Structure 1
């Protein structure tokens, strides 16, 4: 029997959230969800899913249908409960796109772009003061952090259902006066160092707080324990977003 991922307590919490999203309580529901997470954890093709999880095609169809209906993204939002927004950290991480992720239908959005390391996707992430994920977006790997940041920042109060409090921390890749103004307009103080060639300098930066930016790096390390996050195998953007949403939701389960 393949190794299972959920304790009974965690499964009961996850099951309750799934049922609230309109997912049927079939006798094989836990088996199906465990199969989805198994594929995420080991990065195997769907066809190589162990028979203990049921027919691979049935597990894939459930995952694909839930992804199409955005239920897995909604699941992540349901599991984000009372985030600590005293500090919010932003960062992006590039993942390589496996050759199996190519070949999607032309009308479907893929979010795979060309960067210096080839076909890649970038995950743009926001985490709270406890290092827990609160929101993310997915773009092609060539998209600069500062270009995607305004949309990411704009959605944070809506996702968390709370106003931003105190500080938003990011690295030099987010050095933009327009972004700083947007953060201030949302009630937070930007802690973003200026680039080396800046004429303004960094004297006003809270360097003690900036050192805690490792929390978002730690989160990426936790997410990439799932091999289907560390290397992208999914052809469609929505399916890869669902994989990240499930990985983020799993991190919230013990909370």
Structure 2
């Protein structure tokens, strides 16, 4: 086993969740070997064609990565790990939300739009599902993340890099549906920690109507406007400064995810492929935490 590959314990958890080899047609390449090749590509950020031969043909690694993205295998693996962890009572409903920017490589901006063709190629163009936005750093993608109290990712959402955090808040919360072993998925956490970028009347009203305690500090301009209005400005929103100290865990999660170079910089043309890579890296974080928890 080389650095960054699946360990024996991690493979025991992942293997039952992968599609079974039906035995029809040509023999399948070993799943563990192919996944290690995919992890090598995510860790190094190299092109798919540069995957070492010890992991098999690069076409096999990409096609299986693409197939398991489209049929929901990667997302299902992440949900299964969360369900098993929730059954032990270790996942609390105090979550943190934040976003980070990933610079888009020039290769990520080359996908053709639907309906456009070239004279030399008759292949069907890929679907234009790339959330790229032009910001101060050029073409970027913004990665929105919700984490649980230990800093493990629960849900991921992608937008263009020019999208403001408060604008995408409701879309991010709509993806928050952690499954439980018994009962329906829970869509409302008890408390939500966010920085000043999420301090707006609309977001606070959204959380109040759903019975979610907002742990979000006020911006300076909001404090000044409220004081300038005097008694008409109302009371300041409640803020738990002690609980807010745990918000740094979402920043640590971003730091761990960006250790994968194919996530720190977006090389994928399609957003679905980039999101699948983030999901796979999140799976590795959960597996790593499970291994550390099992140690005596």
Structure 1 length normalisation: TM-score?
A: 0.91
Q: Distance in 2 between matches of 1:73 and 1:236?
A: 17
Matched, 1:219 2:253: yes
C-alpha change, 1:78 and 1:5, in structure 2 (3 Å) is same
C-alpha change, 1:205 and 1:243, in structure 2 (3 Å) is same
Matched, 1:137 2:157: yes
Deviation at 1:40, TM superposition (A): 0.3
Structure 1 stretch displaced more, 106-115 or 212-221 = 106-115
Alignment-derived partner of residue 95 in structure 1? 102
Alignment-derived partner of residue 78 in structure 1? 80
Matched, 1:111 2:131: yes
C-alpha change, 1:12 and 1:37, in structure 2 (3 Å) is same
Give unpaired runs (5+ residues) of structure 2: 115-127, 228-235, 291-296
1:29-87 C-alpha deviation (Å, 9 max, x unpaired):
11111110110011111111000000011111111222233332232222223162331
Answer yes or no: is the 8 Å Cα contact 1:110–1:237 preserved in 2.
yes
Answer yes or no: is the 8 Å Cα contact 2:157–2:175 preserved in 1.
no
Structure 1 stretch displaced more, 139-148 or 157-166 = 157-166
C-alpha change, 1:207 and 1:200, in structure 2 (3 Å) is farther
Deviation at 1:15, TM superposition (A): 1.2
Q: Distance in 1 between matches of 2:256 and 2:45?
A: 15
Q: Distance in 2 between matches of 1:106 and 1:37?
A: 29
Alignment-derived partner of residue 203 in structure 2? 179
Give unpaired runs (5+ residues) of structure 1: none
Deviation at 1:193, TM superposition (A): 1.2
Deviation at 1:91, TM superposition (A): 0.1
1:199-241 C-alpha deviation (Å, 9 max, x unpaired):
3475731111111110000000000111111111100010000
* SS in structure 1 at match of 2:259: coil
- C-alpha RMSD of matched pairs (Å): 2.1
Q: Distance in 2 between matches of 1:185 and 1:159?
A: 22
Deviation at 1:23, TM superposition (A): 7.1
C-alpha change, 1:163 and 1:114, in structure 2 (3 Å) is closer
Structure 2 length normalisation: TM-score?
A: 0.79
Structure 1 stretch displaced more, 88-97 or 179-188 = 179-188
* SS in structure 2 at match of 1:80: helix
Deviation at 1:166, TM superposition (A): 2.8
Answer yes or no: is the 8 Å Cα contact 2:29–2:56 preserved in 1.
no
Q: Distance in 1 between matches of 2:191 and 2:2?
A: 44
Task: Find 1:54's aligned residue among 31, 49, 56.
Answer: 56
C-alpha change, 1:215 and 1:38, in structure 2 (3 Å) is same
C-alpha change, 1:172 and 1:68, in structure 2 (3 Å) is same
Q: Distance in 2 between matches of 1:234 and 1:203?
A: 42
Q: Distance in 2 between matches of 1:209 and 1:221?
A: 21
Q: Distance in 1 between matches of 2:207 and 2:260?
A: 32
Matched, 1:241 2:275: yes
**Which structure: larger Rg?**
2
